[in-house]
Amino acid sequence: MSPADPGGGRGDEAASAAAWAHVEVSRHPDRPYSLDLVQRCLDDFIELHGDRQGGDDAAVVIGLARLSGQPLAVVANQKGRTLEERGKRNFGMAHPEGYRKAQRLFTLAGRLQLPVVSFIDTPGAYPGVAAEERGQAWAIAQTLEAQLALPTPYLAVVIGEGGSGGALATLLADAVLVLEHAFLSVASPEAAAAILFRDAGRKQQAAAALRLEAANLLEWGIADEIVPEPPGGAHTDWDGTGRLLRPRLEARLKELTERGFDPARRRERYRRLDGLFSA
Binding site for other proteins (CB under 8 A): 1, 5-8, 10-11, 125, 127-129, 131-138, 140-142, 144-145, 148-149, 164-165, 168, 172, 184-187, 191-192, 194-197, 209-212, 216-217, 220, 222, 267-268, 270-271, 273-274, 276-277, 279
Nearer to other proteins, 112 or 195 (CB): 195
CB of 267 to other proteins, least distance (A): 4
Q: Are the CB atoms for 140 and 163 separated by under 8 Å?
A: no
21: phi then psi, degrees, rounded to nearest 5 = -60, -40
Q: C-beta of 146: minimal distance to other proteins in Å? A: 10
Closer CB to other proteins, 115 or 165, in the complex: 165
Among 17, 118, 26, 127, smallest CA distance to 73 is for: 118
Q: How far is the CB of 177 from other proteins (least distance, A)?
A: 16
* Cα dihedral sign, 251-218-236-44: positive
Residues in Cβ contact with 205 at an 8 Å cutoff, skipping those fewer than 6 apart = 11, 16, 193, 197
- For residue 216, the minimal CB distance to other proteins (Å) is 8
Residue (41 or 173) nearer to other proteins, CB: 173
> Residue 112 or 186: which CB sits closer to other proteins?
186
Q: 40, 85, 93, 89: which is closest to 65 by C-alpha?
A: 40
Q: φ, ψ for residue 225 (rounded to 5)?
A: -165, 140
